[in-house]
Amino acid sequence: MSAQIPAVRSTEQLREKWMKPEVISGSEILLRSLLLEGVECVFGYPGGAVLYIYDALYGFTDFHHLLTRHEQGAIHAADGYARASGKVGVCIATSGPGATNTVTGIATAYMDSVPLVVITGNVVSSLIGTDAFQEADITGITMPITKHSYLVRSVEELPRIIHEAFHIANTGRKGPVLIDIPKDVSANKALFEPVQSVNLRGYHPTVVPNRLQLDKLAAAIQEAERPVILAGGGVVYSGGHEALLEFVNRTEIPITTTLLGLGGFPSGHELWMGMPGMHGTYTANQSIQQADLLISIGARFDDRVTGRLDGFAPHAKIAHIDIDPAEIGKNIATDIPIVGDVKTVLEMLNPLVGRAAKADAWRANVQESKAKYPFRYKDSDTVLKPQWVIEHLNETTRGEAIVTTDVGQHQMWTAQYYKFNQPRSWITSGGLGTMGFGFPSAIGAQMAHPDRLVISINGDGGMQMCAQELAICAINNIPVKIVVINNQVLGMVRQWQELIYDNRYSHIDLAGSPDFVKLADAYGVKGLRATNKEEAKQAWKEAMETPGPVLVEFVVEKGENVYPMVPQGSTIDQMLMGDDES
């Protein structure tokens, strides 16, 4: 792709060029500080309050800046970059509406513990609080959805703030940090002296767990007859996937991975039971409900996993491993709390554990259930089924692509039918459920991994929320393969209205959506359409063989539902298995 990320300079080169003390503007301090934090790519959209920053970016080539077509596209792209790379994502927006356009993306990252540094401009310091043109109290607006935020008062404190922001975003439970820079601060000059240390009073995340708690868990594993592991996104974010695999192989405990935990454990492993929760597997849900020991690793017991809280894992002793002590005991009472970094905890725990010797009958029961209750759907030779489309994508890519999704039925079908074996290969909005996230996050993932296949799977609703970012794919030749699962309806809302609201279909018809092939063509992106299996196979083959971005619209069955489904207010073993099954 032509928008290649510049090669990262060596530490010595950076020190030589950027670390010598020099009197420069706040904007130049910002750029140098970002480089010293290892930033390779920034996503942004200019405006009046950040013009000094963008003036400093003129002719700047030491990291790549990608001009998106909307601030929401910028922050979702930064989010996708962070999830795919494990690095801190960075975006820039101007004051007022530019800053407020990032709010949904900040909340998305906050809910899913994604490290971002969001840089916004503000009006000059003397006008703050006067309702000046394009003024908004973005630090106040985002206080509940940021890990921390800064309003920069002077140019002298800018190097310290930037260094602290990256440290906070990428340590402990990761999350977004906002830096609001008034226009005069970005213009004023000061002696730039890089900050290399951090001393934040009261901020010392616990990484190393209490050894006594590890011993308790090891003992509980030896006594358990029906143990289950519930692994979440914390496994991926901590880089603990290899330690988790070792833990499972040592203990031989059946494992289920949450929506955000997909890819944190290989889907082909015989002890993997699939995803739990509202649209999870029969085996995962039933096993949790029957377990006598449930070990949660980097998962926060979200309501879409637990179902009705008072009926969740009713027979189990609960062990909860998490970097955030606030999560332990928040939703589910915990018997063995273990606070620490998931990777560190598992590496310390592994030498202490052995095979769960009392669980042989349990393991056999799990294998029998997996064979008896796989995901299933009614295939068709006349209409295109969305589940078949996802299966075809999985088969043709051998499960090796980075896949991003928007939110809705297509998201759940992808989670069910695409088989992830590598961490950071699955990017989706879990906690907030943000429509419009899927496509721009794929752009960020592609910028993080220029040489990997990135597939963005979207519904016809969410695709229209950030479709303008087709422009930057075309201009920069960013080779994302864009899939639109078009059922001409807000599918998940339709499903709920069918099953829960007695077929009262209220305001869900998307039949007036644009011709997605023509829309892609208007932006300079190749567009293809398929309405049956043969067309689908040919269109996807052409997309895979075409350099650069391609949009493929799959016109699918309008009335297809996602099964299994746990109705809201039910326990997770009370599952609707399908149209013709109880």
> Catalytic residues, which ones?
71, 133-134, 183, 492
**What does the DSSP assignment read for 46-76?**
--GGGHHHHHHTTT--SSEEEE-SSHHHHHH
What's the chain's length in residues?
582
Say how far apart CA 555 and CA 208 lie, in whole Å: 51
Contact 175, 146 (CB under 8 A): yes
The H-assigned helical ranges of 151-260 are 158-169, 183-187, 211-223, 233-238, 241-251
Spatial strand order of the sheet with 293-297 comes to 255-257, 227-231, 293-297, 317-322, 336-339
Distances 500 to 23, 285, 504 between C-alpha atoms, Å: 65, 21, 9
Tokens standing for residue 515: 């011709």
DSSP β-bridge partners for residue 543: none
DSSP β-bridge partners for residue 405: 457
Neighbours of 191 (CB within 10 A): 12
- Strand 189-192 with 22-25, pairing: antiparallel
Say how far apart CA 245 and CA 268 lie, in whole Å: 12
Distances 361 to 246, 251, 367, 494, 533 between C-alpha atoms, Å: 22, 14, 10, 41, 42
339 CB-near residues (< 8 Å, 6+ apart): 206, 209, 210, 322, 323, 325, 328
Say how far apart CA 349 and CA 358 lie, in whole Å: 19
Say how far apart CA 42 and CA 26 lie, in whole Å: 17
Say how far apart CA 582 and CA 578 lie, in whole Å: 7
Contact 331, 355 (CB under 8 A): no
Contact 556, 384 (CB under 8 A): yes
Q: Is 298 helix (H, G, I), strand (E, B) or coil?
A: coil
* Nearest alpha carbon to residue 333 among 354, 316, 355, 358: 316
